[in-house]
Amino acid sequence: MNTLLKFIEELLLEPVVLIGILVCIGYILSKKSLIKIITGTISSMVGLMLILFGGKMFTETFKPIVNAVSEHYGISGYLMDPYAMRASTQEALGDSFGFVGYVFILAFAVNILLVMLNKYTKAKGIFLTGNAGFAHSQAILWLVHFWLGLNWVPTVIISGVLLGIYWAISTTIPIKAVKDVTNGADFTIGHNQMFGIWFFSKFAHKFGNPETEDAEHLKLPGWLGIFEHNVTGISIIMTVFIGGFLMSIGPKNVQELAGKQHWLIYIIMLGLKFSMYMVILLQGVRMLIGEINQSFKGIQEKLIPNAVPAVDVAALLPFSPNAATLGFICCTLGTIFSIFILVMTNSPIMVLPGFVPLFFSGGPIGVVANKYGGYKAVIVCTFLLGIIQSFGTIWAISLSGLPNGIGWTGMFDWATVIPFFTQILKFISQLF
C-alpha cells in the first residue's frame, strides 16, 4: 500500500509525466491514430520540459544577483521566495514531514472530485503543477497543525480537503483572463498567483487602452524602432536594467559575481540570456498548448466534462514578452519602494525579494494587465503588485508560527488569500 502511494505521489509530483499521461488519455478517448497519440504525448512532455527548463534557468541565473545586492547593503530579513518557504516549513514539520505526500494526494483527489461535480461546484481547473503543489501541501499542513493542534490524522485530512478546495477555486477563477490573453487556449494556471491574475484582470482596463497602447505594438520613433523586435528589445532593456541594478554595488563586487569573465561582458550576457530564456519558454508553450488544446477535448467529452488543465504560470509569459519584462521591472520597483517604507518605519519584520515572486508574478500579471489596459496598466498593476506582495508577506509571516523562519513564498495568493485563511484558523483556535 505504501509503495503504491509512493508511486502515485511521485507521479503527481512530476508534471511532465502527468501532462504526458493526460494528453495520451485525451487522444485515446478522441480515437486519434497511434502515431498522433505517440507524437502528441511526447511533444507535450518536451514542451513542458522546455517551459520548466526556461523557468529554472531564469531563477538560477538571476537569484544570486538579488542575493548579492541585499548582502551588499546589509539588509537582512525573511526571504520572499517559494524555496525559502519550502525550507522553513520542512524544518518546522521535522519528523512529521512525511505526511506532506498524503496531503498532496488527498488534495488532488478533492480537486478532481469538485471538477467532476462541476454542475454543483462550477469548478473546472485541475491543478497539475506538482512542484508548486508540494510546496502548498507543506505550508498548509504546517499552518493547520500549528493553529489547530490536532492529531496528525485529522490534520492531514483537513489540510488535504482545504488545499483541494483552494486548487479547484483558484484554478477556475482565472480561466477567462487566461483565455483572453492566449486568444482562446484551453488551459488555466496552477501556481501561486491565480487570484492575482483574476484580481488585476478586473480593473487593468481603467489605466489604459490595449488597442492603442499594447506593449507589443508600440510604434517608437526613429532608431527606437529597434525595440519593436521582442528578442532585441528585451535583451537591451534587461542589459540596462540589470546593469544599473548591479552597478549600484560597484564594479568590484560585480566582478566577484562574474568570476573569470569581465564584469561588463557578464552584464551584457545576462541581458542576452534573459531574452534567450524567453525564446525557450515561447517554444515550449507552443508545443504544450497545441497538444493540450487538441487532446483535452477527449477528456472533457468522455471523462470529466468542463475540465481545464492548470499548468505552470510560465506558460503565460511568451504571449506578451515585452509586457512580461516591463511587469518584472515594475514589480521589482514596487518591492524596492516597499522595502524603503519598511526601513523608514523601523518594521520589526523585514522582507527581501527573491527573483521568483518578482518575475513569475510580475511577468504573468504584466501580460494580463497589458491585454486589458496596455503598457500603462502594466506599470500601475505590477508596481502595486510589488507592494501587495511585500506587505502581504509580512502579514503571512506574522501568522505562520515558523520557528526561525527562513522565509515565505511572497507571491500574490500567498500574500493575500492564504494569510486571510490563516487568520481564520487563528480565530478558530482562540475559540476552541
**CA dihedral for 360, 365, 370, 374, sign (positive or negative):** negative
The pLDDT of residue 120: 95
Round to the nearest angstrom and report the end-to-end CA distance of the chain.
36
Give the start-end residues of each E strand in 10-117. 78-80
Q: What is the pLDDT of residue 228?
A: 56
pLDDT of residue 267: 92
The predicted pLDDT at position 170 comes to: 98
CA proximity to 133, closest of 15, 281, 52, 284: 15
Angle, helices 152-172 vs 130-148, to 10°: value is: 130
Beta strands across the sheet bearing 125-127: 125-127, 308-311, 188-189
> Splitting the chain (432 residues) into consecutive groups of 10 residues, what average pLDDT does each group show?
70 79 89 92 90 81 77 76 87 89 91 94 92 91 96 96 98 97 92 97 94 81 57 81 84 89 92 87 82 80 86 91 91 93 87 86 96 96 97 94 81 97 95 84
The one-letter amino acid code at 385 reads L
Q: Based on the number of CB atoms within 10 Å of its own CB, is 355 exposed (0-12), middle (13-18) or buried (19 or more)?
A: buried
Q: Which H or E run includes 308? A: strand 308-311
CB distance 415 to 395 below 8 Å: yes
Report residue 353: phi and psi, to 5°: -75, 135
**For 149, how many CA atoms within 13 A lie in the half-sphere containing its CB?**
7
DSSP 350-404: -EEE-HHHHHHHHHHHHHHHHHHHHHHHHHHHHHHHHHHHHHHHHHHHHHH--TT
